[in-house]
A and B are shown apart, each in its own frame.
Chain A
Amino acid sequence: MRGASALQSLLHEFDNAPLTIFVVWEPILATDSAGVKTAALGRISDRRAVQFWDKSHQLSAHMGGPASFGPKSGAKILFDMDEYVWDFVAVYAPGFRWNESSRSPAFAGAPVIKVIPELRSYLSGAPAQH
């Protein structure tokens, strides 16, 4: 939850950047089984965001699970995600299509709150590059 709030604060800094944000909520803790509530969804208030509820962790599976973000991937993963990809943020450059998901994202890190500075740096340069 703190990660989502931190991401929202960062998005505020890039108010006019041409971004689309995909926020995917998934059950990780025992208390998550009831689904995602309005209060949680409200953490990301950016109009460019699209929010999803992924009860069966399909996105995590499509990404290849935590194993695909190992040390060789270049992702900055600072905690053991265990079974599913979560508290995670990835940035995909323009032109990237989902069926090319064997390619790594341009930036990936977890937990979100700890990789905000790197994400900020990336976004400061990335929109201008593409």
Chain B
Amino acid sequence: MCGRKMLLQIRQKCAYSILRSSVWQSCSTNCSGGTCPHSKRATKSVDPIRLGDLLRRVGAKLGHGPVAARKIEGDDHFPEVEDHSFDHLQRVYQAQGLQLVVAEQTRHMVARAARRVGLAYAGYSAFAPGRTPRGQLSLINIDRASFSSFEQIFDDAADRVRIVGLFSPT
């Protein structure tokens, strides 16, 4: 696969093709959205990292000036380096770029998972029935059990003093 195609892969990234590097190496299909041809799983178009930005971040990491990123993005040979050196540089940028993309993807996935867990917990807290303290009967819903459930328990305790309190939960 030529360097240009690999760069295209970063641009057209799909979570599966990038995370599974062997697939990524051979994949030349646009997997951003629809069904991934390799995993056969539905993919979502992920927030694209602009190729230029990605290459500049790689350049910054390697201590290069922004011109290197621009040249590689444009597949523009440096007049001062040989073709094979340029190919090597491209490969270095591609490998580093892939690492960055994978790290970004992982961060997104972790953040997404954390959001889902948070939402699930919030949903559970909002709709789950309350639990009474240890040693007490479970909460009795008068609407479901009918008012006679209250009456029955009240009369069953007729041999003792009974205190009835009515409260608003908030």
Give residues in A with beta carbon < 8 Å to B. Answer: 1, 3-4, 7, 17-29, 31-32, 34-42, 44-45, 47, 49-56, 58-60, 62, 84-99, 105, 112, 123, 126-127, 130
Contact = CB atoms under 8 A, between A and B. Distances in A.
Contacts of A88: 165-166
A34 B127 contact: yes
5 contacts: A26-B166, A31-B170, A44-B133, A92-B164, A95-B158
A36 B169 contact: yes
Main secondary structure, interface of B, reads mixed
Interface residues of B, number: 36
Contacts of B158: 94-97
B167 A3 contact: yes
Given A1-B170, A37-B130, A60-B166, 14 more contacts: A3-B167, A7-B165, A21-B162, A21-B165, A22-B154, A23-B165, A24-B167, A25-B166, A41-B131, A42-B133, A47-B136, A52-B139, A54-B166, A89-B163
Contacts, number: 177
Contacts of A36: 130, 139, 169
B160 A19 contact: yes
Contacts of A127: 161
Lowest 10 A-B CB distances belong to which pairs?
A28-B168, A47-B135, A20-B157, A36-B169, A45-B133, A18-B160, A40-B169, A31-B170, A54-B142, A22-B164
A85 B139 contact: no
A94 B164 CA distance: 13
Interface of B: 125-127, 129-133, 135-137, 139-143, 147, 150-151, 153-155, 157-170
